[in-house]
Structure 1
Amino acid sequence: MERSIGFRASDVIQTILAVLVLGTVSLRVVECKQGSVPDALHYSAINCRKHSALLTDFGAVGDGKTLNTKAFKAAIDSLSKYASDGGAQLIVPPGKWLTGSFNLTSSHFTLFLHKDAIILASQDEAEFPLVSTLPSYGIGRDGNGDGRFSSLIFGTNLTDIVITGNNGTIDGQGKIWWDKFHQGQLNFTRPYMIEILYSDNIQISNLTLINSPSWFVHPTYSSNVLIQGLTILAPVDSPNTDGIDPDSCTNTRIEDCFVVSGDDCIAVKSGWDQYGIKFGMPTKHLIIRRFTCISPDSATIALGSEMSGGIQDVRVEDVTAINTQSGIRIKTAIGRGAYVKDIYARRMTFTTMKYVFYISSAYNQHPDTGFDPKALPEVKGINYKDVVATNVTYTARLEGIPNDHFTGICISNATISLSEMPKELQWNCSNIAGVTSNVTPKSCNLLPEKEKVDCAFPEDRLPIEDVHLKTCSTTETA
């Protein structure tokens, strides 16, 4: 990935933030006796559960050294019998709980982390079984193998799943995986932290997630997904540590999250080249709001580059990025096919950024040689308004494809203040079409200035906006 210049102050910011958050976590662990939950805990969820159990009921030891993979599996298996009787919740109490990958095998289930609980991912590859590659990707994204390591928390074909806490922590202990990646020692794709496939009604909320081996939160082939109140932290030079990656999902809401990452803070995806085209499942009806990002070498929100199932109807509002390479970046290439269309964003504030507006058609990494060079992506209906950015190097880099122009680009009410050493060419435009209105600096000729244009933002409400959470308690017992 292209390395930005002049953003290293973000390393200091990221380190301070991580120390503050992790220091708070470390202090909290001593507040309560390991393995105990002294008082009833209350939390918000899409559904409450009739039955409850502690992880320690299944022999788990929270000393940060004892491996608890079997305890997690035993607990989840035991509680699965309550799926049709009001559901069940597994409470992870105060302590440090070392574990390998474990599956959520039952619907109507809640995994709840006490505020003084830390789930630690094992650093032993053997604790992460190999699973099949995703059909919309065709191959793994790391190494040469066809398989991939199972995510730390994994689930498939589920309904009504909640992963939440009172800001409990999950630590992926990813450095060993990052080192293997850099040294070319991986045969299979690194684990993600949380991955839910082929599921409906998912909530992931109110947690601190740190140091994932690769992507942090990856809902895939799913619908009605609520991601809320997450703090996600990884070193800004860690490889592929995307924060939140909705992938071929419908009706998703991401809000009130903070991400420091070595890659895109949010990456919206839907499959890779011919595999994504064949699978044909778009990401659509996505809301992102009240979101903050720090990522010196990547995007606040990326659309793609794996977008071969299509991306449509993305609504972004009230976003802040600090020391981040770009704002909303559309990433595609010849061979991707499909579309990125009906994209809406408003009220975005950026401080210290290389590119504010960025559309690239040059993401030419392909899963194999079988991609179709005639599969051209359609990019249209891109709407940005009410943007304020300071200390900017380039205002815009907007690159379509010859004979496949990206059209319907609208930018209105945007004020860009440049850095002390900005690039002379502020608008680098090719093979695009659209308009601007009340934009500073003045745009390129392919985006002519029009008076009194207000770029579109939908007024209708998506179904996920009307999902209201219930107040639940941990006092119920199995």
Structure 2
Amino acid sequence: MKCLFVSARSCCVLLDPEGDYYAREPRLLRLNGETLNESEDRSVISLFGLWPDTEYRLQSFRGDAPGEETVFRTLPETCTLNVRRFGARGDGGHDDTPMIQAAILCCPDGGRVLIPAGHYRVTPLFLKSHITLELQKGACLQLCTDRERFPVLPGLTRTTDEKGEYLLGSWEGNPLDSFASALTGIGVRDVRIIGEGAVDGCAPDGDWWQDHRRIRTAFRGRLLYLRDCEDITVQGITFRNSPAWNLHPCFSRSLDFLNVRVEAPADSPNTDGFDPESCSGVRMLGTVFSVGDDCIAIKSGKIYMGRTYHTPCENVEIAWCAMLDGHGGVTVGSENAGGVRRVRVHHCFMRGNDRGLRIKTRRGRGKNAVVDDIRFEHVRMDGVKVPLVINCMYYCDPDGKTPYVQSREKQPVDDGTPTVGEICFEHVRAEGCQACAGYVLGLPERPVERLILRDCCFAFSDAAQPMTPAMANGMESCLRRGLVLKYVDQVILDHVSVRGIKGPLTETESVNSITETD
């Protein structure tokens, strides 16, 4: 048992490091001698309603095993500002934006803005450094559906001396005008957003998902947007029904997302759960996703951002999470022009996703688009159609289906050529697969450098249906196939098994070296 995070009013604790989202056994929990839960079944939990500057002792018991405990002390707090005292009504009808924004702006360093139970109709709120924003259980920020009342974040503004630029808005890897988000942080530091409340984008009640590709004033906002922020923790909050991506930190550092829930209908457009873009030092722990697009998509911009800022997304940990439905469990790209490296996904559970680990890139992303050191460890999948996909010919963007992107002939290596380095799958158990265990399509001129699968077991569903495993031109439909590997330099298979397969374990084309160990 380990304490992962402590604030003045909350803490986050790892109960079972060897579980996935679900602990191996339920546990009885006691806090300072009082029973909290007699059958806690999650590996990572959060506690709220704590007092500042107070010592707590948390005990955990499972079966007949000896109990475990951890002792922690909450942080001090300067004061609490209740938004009701600022005039917020929380009745779901009145506009509570100015009242809540006033409380945020008036909060002193080390203070807390408290949003008690109620339904608060708001337009985008802007965060401030060195505060805690707490949404108590039963509190819900409900985003207004009238986009004419939303501020727009300009994508790119030239500096006064015309030698630089100032970026605010963003859309799919480019600096483009976008609406502000329900919670917007620009250059803020040391912020905690905690509690058992919710942020509801109310997208089904407006026109955000209708004719969603048409730009009306600006691109759609998110539920949480962080730009150039540092030391941010989001804990316990439920995010649902976002106009577009749910959580989008951009060019930010030292970010923790703990015991969050992200929800959107399966058919909702562009409702990715979590999209860290050109960020470093990111932890996503104990979170549940059920969305209409990728659960997690790790990004670093398109070619302009990659060439101009050279900022990878790196040092990302995703652990003890549940990805329930969604196009991809964890996706890298396709906007990865700044590179993505040192990503570790471990002790997670995926159910019903189209793909488990999904790497998407293409010609034109650029020489800085290096995807390397991506590790999947101790991951359990149930009903994931294709556990592993690496696609270097992803047909996104207006030119995505042109010969430049889609040609299977070797092209000149140039400033637009991306790289996929080492990808590692270890201790993965996947039941209920359908199309294939894995599909890898590198580039003829730059093959995937190294693919490692170690101690992995795949099993196909008896009711498996054929599907195309990757989004590229000329992609064949697959059903119960093993590992389909095209344009890979080195493949290492160490104790890999596939049950219910039709055909060989591996089908290779232009693979330089393959090593198999039983």
Aligned to 1:184: 214
Partner of 1:250: 280
Give the deviation of 1:277 after TM superposition: 2.6
What 5-or-longer segments of structure 1 have no aligned partner? 1-38, 453-478
Kindly indicate whether residue 197 of structure 2 is the aligned counterpart of residue 168 of structure 1.
yes
Q: Does 1:212 align with 2:242?
A: yes
Give the structure with higher Rg (CA): 2
1:320 aligned counterpart, secondary structure? strand
How big is the shift at 1:276? 2.5
Q: Where do residues 21-170 of structure 1 align in structure 2 (5 Å cutoff)?
A: 41-42=50-51, 48-79=76-107, 82-83=108-109, 87-104=110-127, 106-133=128-155, 141=171, 146-165=176-195, 167-170=196-199
Question: 1:155 Cα shift?
Answer: 0.9
Q: Which residue of 2 aligns with 1:467?
A: none
Task: Give the counterpart letter for 1:174 in structure 2.
Answer: A
Q: How far off its partner does 1:444 sit?
A: 3.4
Q: Which moved more, 1:170-179 or 1:258-267?
A: 170-179
Q: Which residue is equivalent to 1:304?
A: 333
CA distance in 2, matches of 1:246, 1:57: 35
Whole-angstrom distance in 1 between the partners of 2:361 and 2:168: 18
Q: Deviations over 1:307-333 (max 9, x none)?
A: 111111011101111111111111111
What TM-score does the superposition give when structure 1 sets the normalisation length?
Answer: 0.79
For the Cα contact (< 8 Å) 1:335–1:373, is it kept in 2? no
Instruction: Please list, as runs of the form range in 1=range in 2, the aligned pairs for 1:349-388 lying within 5 A after superposition.
Output: 349-366=380-397, 374-388=415-429
SS in 1 for 2:99: helix
State the SS of the aligned residue for 2:383: strand
Is 1:320 the counterpart of 2:325? The answer is no
Higher strand share: 2
Out of 453, 459, 479, the position equivalent to 1:411 is 453
Question: Secondary structure of 1:284's match?
Answer: strand
Task: Name the residue aligned to 2:432.
Answer: 391
* Partner of residue 283, structure 1: 313
Task: Give distance in 2, aligned partners of 1:136 and 1:405.
Answer: 37
- State the Cα distance separating 1:136 from its structure 2 match: 11
CA distance in 1, matches of 2:171, 2:314: 23
Contact 1:128 1:152 in 2 (8 A): no
1:412, CA displacement in angstroms? 1.0
The alignment of Structure 1 onto Structure 2 pairs a total of residues equal to 404
Alpha carbons of 1:245 and 1:40: their partners in 2 closer, same or farther (altered >3 Å)?
closer
Distance 1:183 1:225, change over 3 A: closer
Cα distance change, pair 327–53 in 1 and its aligned pair in 2 (3 A)? same
Following superposition, the deviation at residue 418 of structure 1 comes to 0.9
Using the TM superposition, give the Cα deviation of residue 77 of structure 1 relative to its aligned residue in structure 2, in angstroms.
Answer: 1.7
Matching residue's letter, 1:169: A
CA 1:377–1:306 in structure 2 vs 1: closer, same or farther (change >3 Å)?
same
* Aligned residue number for residue 439 of structure 1: 496
2:209·2:268 contact (CA, 8 Å) conserved in 1? no
8 Å contact from structure 1 (residues 274, 336) kept in 2: no
User: Structure 1 45/160 Cα, relative in aligned 2: closer, same or farther at 3 Å?
Assistant: farther
Q: Retained in 1: the 8 A contact 2:456–2:497?
A: yes
Contact 1:49 1:109 in 2 (8 A): no
Contact 1:137–1:275 (Cα < 8 Å) also in 2: no
Distance 1:286 1:145 in 2: 23
Greater relative contact order: 1 or 2 (C-alpha under 8 angstroms, separation 6 or more)? 1
What runs of 5+ residues in structure 2 fail to find an aligned partner?
Answer: 1-47, 53-71, 157-164, 406-412, 466-478, 499-504
- Report the secondary structure of 1:357's partner residue: strand
Question: 1:157-185 deviations in whole A, cap 9, x for unaligned?
Answer: 111011111x1111110122443344736
Q: Is the 8 A contact 1:231 1:258 kept in 2?
A: yes
Partner Cα separation in structure 1 for residue 175 and residue 257 of structure 2: 31
**Kept in 2: contact 1:136–1:278 (CA 8 A):** no
Q: Please state how far the C-alpha of 1:274 moved relative to its aligned partner.
A: 2.7
Offset of 1:186 from its aligned partner?
Answer: 3.3
- Mark the CA change 1:383 to 1:46 in structure 2 (over 3 Å): closer, same or farther: farther
1:10 aligns with none
**Alignment root-mean-square deviation, CA:** 2.7
State how far apart, in whole Å, the 1-side matches of 2:116 and 2:279 are.
32
